Structure 1
Amino acid sequence: MIAKLIIYLKALKTFLRTKSIKRAKFLIYEQDIDVSKFDDDMLIAQLGYFGHHTEKALKHHNRGERGKHKRDKLLQLVKEAEKRNIQEAKLIEWVKHLIEYYDTNKEIYIKKTDEIKVHPQKDEILKFIKQRTTTRFWQAKEIDDEIINDILETAMSSALSCNRQTIRFAVVKNKVENMVVGDSNNKSMFDKAPVAIYVADDERFFPEKYGNALDVGGVCSLIQLAASAYGISGSWIYHSESYEQNRLKKQLGFKDYMYIYSSITLGYSSDKQEKPPRCKVNRFIV
């Protein structure tokens, strides 16, 4: 009873500090979650989340009760994942290592280094990033599935808040033999692009107001850069309010708890698009 009262007081303090009811309710929810009731998507998301927070606790001089709670919840999650035979060996190996370190080693979990690594192709990489541009017209040429998979795998190396790997993709291919030149409006692009990738996120485990949107933005940026490495370009489209969400989710096979934030059309460009000039960086520094 006292423990619950302490949690409610912490939730109240969180609300007074952040003015966020969602974040305060999440603090209460986090204490009593029953991992056996999660679907696999939620289970994996929380393995990443509690793994992230356990690692943070290991890097703190005083691991405290907060760290112990994260470690205990992480243990419940990994046992449930193994019970279901979830095939995410690297993630499960990582969280097991964190639990073992928490239980057996009191040293701060830091692999110290004074090494500074500058990439040998730094100038070429930065130039490549700066030259990335948008394309709205494509050649009638398919993109191999292996390339699409590599682009998406690379994109998922993006920073993700609290390691919650809740991003989901729907990949839609058009028949290139039916392509027309069209024009630059969004509908035309969806009709003619060799590939359209829809990017959605699971909103069930985010107390942050814009946490999902930030994750999607990071992933979409890397989709464009990874595609550029293959000579592929496209157009990143804000998709949240462009279409009725429930209809589009059903059409693409997304679960009800997903929200479609963006789409990216991709192909081999038939338009030698020049990079629009950017203002000097000093204008953006406050």
Structure 2
Amino acid sequence: MRVETRNTKQSLAFETGMLARQANASILAIQGDSRVLVTVTVSKEERKGIDFLPLVVDYQEMSFAVGRIPGGFIKREGRPSDQEILTARFIDRPIRPLIPKGFFNEIQIIATVLSGDPSNNPDVMAINAASAALHISEVPFKGPLAGVRVGFIDGSFVINPPLDHQDGSDMDIIVVGTEDAIVMVEGEAKELPEDTVVRALDFAHSEIKKICQAQDELREKAGKEKMPFHAYGPDDAMYEKVKAFAGEKLEQIMLGAYAKQDRHARTDALRAETLEHFADDAEDISLGVNACFSQLEKEIVRALVLGKGRRVDGRNVDEIRPI
């Protein structure tokens, strides 16, 4: 099965059904002479006693992808490079929030670069292939999402500029998003005006939509039924109890001028105190009260930043920490 999209530079194709057929889903992304294979495997049973998503992402740039054999006495592929680790994290970050809370089955995503050419960087291809693989798999996924690299060369925006052109670009950012919104931006630029960066994001999002539409088309042709799961989140009644007990104390911790380690230690101590206080009120302490405390922590930090203009260490939003 194959679908193809066309952006301003060259086509990006997704193929499935030929390679890694024992995986829950697999996608071969093709752009120019670059090929990236992404597989998704998922356990049939959920992992008990956890309140987080057990997702593992690996990214491998094989030496044979560029026609090279590792030098030295050992000819096998070694440990992942720093760039491979960073790319794996880059794939993980936008995907993790789009898998619903309450899905505790172990998931493994492996992206393997089979072939690479200088004009098509495989890192962005990997995030697109990972999204496509999740989209057609049994894993519940609020996607699809897609990513593009944006350059700014001679006053014009360029989607996925070749490697030999990136040195002359005033911007090198990777934008990842769904059809509705941008979910992640990463990169650097040479002190460009803010409106130029905003236009770059809009330009990137227009291309992201095309790639997402291709993934939707692929799901219609080859998608599997999604696995059932129990939606998970803080209980409203328990949340109000936790907020009444720990809300004011937690806000004072977030406003205090503490070092990061000290603030984390104080937060952990308050969390433990809260768990002990409500030990008789919740059937599953690790999931019930913990979830409420984490939600309370997020809401307090958000309210401080947006409502009071204060950061978690007590600084104003425009105040620079002394170095």
Do these two structures clear the TM 0.5 threshold for a shared fold by scoring above it? no
Structure 2 length normalisation: TM-score? 0.23
- Structure with greater strand percent: 2
Structure 1 length normalisation: TM-score? 0.26
Q: Which has the higher contact order (CA 8 A, sep 6+)?
A: 1
- Structure with greater helix percent: 1
